[in-house]
Chains A and B, each alone.
Chain A
Amino acid sequence: MVDRVLPKEQVSAFLDYLRRRYRLWAPVAQGGGFVFAEIDHPESIRLDYPTTMLPPKAAFLPPNEILLSIDMESLESAPPPAEDKPIALLGVHPCDLHGLMRLDMAMREEPSDASYVSARRGALIIGLACVHRCRPEAFCDSMETFRGAAGADLYLTPIEDGFWVEVRDGAEESLADAADCFRPPSDRQKREKDDINRQIDLEFSGRRLSLETLADDLEKTYTSSYWAKLADRCFSCGACTAVCPTCVCFDVRDDLAGGCKTADRCRSWDSCLLKDFAAVAGNENFRPKRHQRLRHRMMRQGSYLAKRFNLPAFCVGCGRCPAMCLGKISPLEAFEFSQKGRTVHV
């Protein structure tokens, strides 16, 4: 890890560098909120954003994509041409950095997903420290995902003079041509950054789950009537999975295109909350009831995938799903239910 400072007056030069070398994605204001979008005009970038409606997942796993096209005459398949430049994701908050790491684990688990690997290849992830809570629904404090540079190639902390930049070992190379933008940090700047980190710890002090036991605790609630009660508030709409940084379930379908000359194999996000998700031909549905589907998602987030990838939890506590949910269902309430009476306040 190397520490640098990106002075305010160098920010626009750095953005120019990023745009030359990468397809730059960053948060912008849109529709009364914020979204990660590909940047045409750097002045539209809003690094002061609280959180985005959708996580940065879409940069590497788009809501809809064509995996391959099959020529209907020759029956030969070809993937779509690769993009000429890799993606740089700028301004990713810690919860979403944790989300991207989990997305990587799921999509790169052998055999790794070719389309994802291709979109992710050479990407530069630039994290941005969260100094304030973004919304009341967020529970990154409980999930302990509110801090840290893990998963980022560069990690920015806003300071008075600009940004403190932690450069991951091995990432200096991708900055070689932008070296002029950075300065060695001064002692004063170091003290300021340390102060900010202490403020962050204070800001996000609060509830903590017992993360070491969460996966097992949650599975013990499997037969509880709690899930049916919770499902009274669930509309099975799938909004929670659509806004989730770690939900990776998808559907694959074949569509005719180009005047029926080609068949496109298309992938789109899917949701385990939707009624037909586990249905098979012949009218069999392996999760026909709403509470079964809601419980399945919570278990995936709190237990199944956590165990699979040896993590405390797959959920990162970003707070998007409770904010989006019509019934205000939060994974936190399910997680806390499973650890009733054992929530720790710090």
Chain B
Amino acid sequence: MFDFIPEIANVTSVRPVTATETLYHIRLPNRPLGHLPGQFVQVSLPGIGEAPISIASAPGRDGFDLCVRHVGNVTEALRRLRAGDCVGIRGPFGRGVPLDEVMGRNVLIIAGGLGLAPLRSLIQYILYFRAKFKKAAVLVGARSPDALLFSKEYKAWRQDGDIDVRVTVDVAKAGWKGDVGVITDLIPHVPLPPADTVSIVCGPPVMYHYVLRTLSRLHQPQDHIFLSLERRMKCGTGKCGHCQINGLYVCREGPVFRYDRIVHVPEAVS
């Protein structure tokens, strides 16, 4: 049975990430969230509304992170939150990254823009259980150096996690020493054998087509590719219809889909 009652959770810290994104650390009063990397929650402010937000930290007992871009009614209102405030939480919802299909293999994480937020959950998980994964690489794309999420963490990902982190921006600015260009340019430079590598992709809708084309040219099998898709998840239980992609409900069957299972679903990636 499912009702729409939110659990009242505590915001334990608020950290600006960029000019438009904020990272909130949240604790539920009575339980760990119990999520998998890639799942999402519904965050609400009483009287204002709910917004689906993906979880940006690895599963753990000590609360969870949400990285919020302030672009809608609810997410704009979340700007007012301070440490010590309360929010409503429902979830976790959906299917995350199936870890048993990723463990024991090389991992290629491809994140465009805010897509790094849900994938940070997986990156942290890899850091915690590093020995369970073979080589790992993270490709990060952003509009500009200012728009990069979690850039202060890249060093730790590289050093503590032995993760090959590569970053590119669409438009550089003075002082930028990294790559300039689209994220697909980075993919061929990662020395991971496609047949023994699992790719996990999350980014703006326009990105998927090009990333998939590149991975296909490199002969990566479709069942080794996972895509996290954004839609307007509202109820979280496959009823309200808002997140539907053809016959699939993203809130239940996704948001993480194995590519071979949606390659023939016309609305999924175009």
Interface size on B, residues (CB 8 A): 40
Interface of B is mostly: loop
A72 and B47 in contact (CB under 8 A), knowing A77-B6, A111-B1, A115-B3?
A: yes
Among the listed A117, A248, A260, which residue makes an inter-chain contact with B241, where contact means beta carbons less than 8 Å apart? A248
Residue B239 CB within 8 A of the other chain: yes
Interface assignment of A22: CB less than 8 Å from any CB of chain B: no
Interface residues of A in 45-82 (CB under 8 A from B): 67-68, 70, 72, 75, 77, 79
Contact present for B230 and A265 (CB under 8 Å)? no
| B51–A254 touching, CB < 8 Å | no
Q: Cα distance A304–B238 when bound, in Å?
A: 13
CB distance B5 to A68 under 8 Å? yes
Contact status A68-B4, CB under 8 Å:
yes
Within 8 A of A (CB), among B1-30: 1-6, 8
Also in contact, A117 and B1, with CB within 8 A (given A248-B241, A278-B242): yes
Q: Specify the chain B residue showing the minimal Cβ separation from A303.
A: B247
Q: Which residues of chain A come closer than 8 Å to B205, judged between CB atoms? A: 284, 286
Q: Is the CB of A77 within 8 A of B5?
A: yes
Interface residues of A: mostly helix, strand, loop or mixed? Answer: mixed
A254 touches B50 (CB 8 A): yes
Known contacts A281-B72, A303-B247; is-contact A113 B234 (Cβ 8 Å) = no
A111:B2 contact, CB within 8 angstroms: yes
Q: How many residue pairs bridge A and B at CB < 8 Å? A: 115
Interface residues of B in 43-98 (CB under 8 A from A): 44-51, 69, 71-72, 75, 86, 88
B246 interface contact, C-beta 8 A: yes
Complex contact B48–A307 (CB within 8 A): no
Q: Which of A250, A280, A299 contacts B230 (CB 8 A)?
A: A280
Which residue from A248, A254, A304 sits with its C-beta under 8 Å from B46? A254
**Cβ-defined contact, A114 with B267, below 8 A:** no
Tell me, yes or no, whether A255 is within 8 Å of chain B by CB: yes
- Structural contact, A113 and B239, CB atoms closer than 8 A: yes
Per-residue CB proximity of B138-158 to A under 8 Å, as 1/0? 000000000000000000000
Interface residue ranges, B against A (CB under 8 Å): 1-6, 8, 44-51, 69, 71-72, 75, 86, 88, 204-205, 230-232, 234-235, 237-242, 244-247, 266-267
The 3 A-B residue pairs with the shortest CB-CB distance, nearest first, are: A281-B72, A249-B241, A263-B47
Known: A254-B46, A278-B231, A284-B230. 8 other contacts (CB 8 A): A68-B5, A70-B6, A112-B1, A270-B241, A281-B51, A282-B69, A284-B205, A296-B244
Instruction: Please list 23 pairs of residues, one from A and one from B, whose beta carbons are closer than 8 Å in the complex, sorted by A's number.
Output: A77-B6, A107-B239, A109-B239, A111-B1, A251-B234, A251-B242, A252-B4, A252-B235, A254-B48, A256-B47, A263-B46, A263-B47, A270-B241, A272-B244, A278-B242, A280-B230, A281-B51, A281-B71, A281-B72, A281-B75, A282-B72, A296-B244, A304-B244
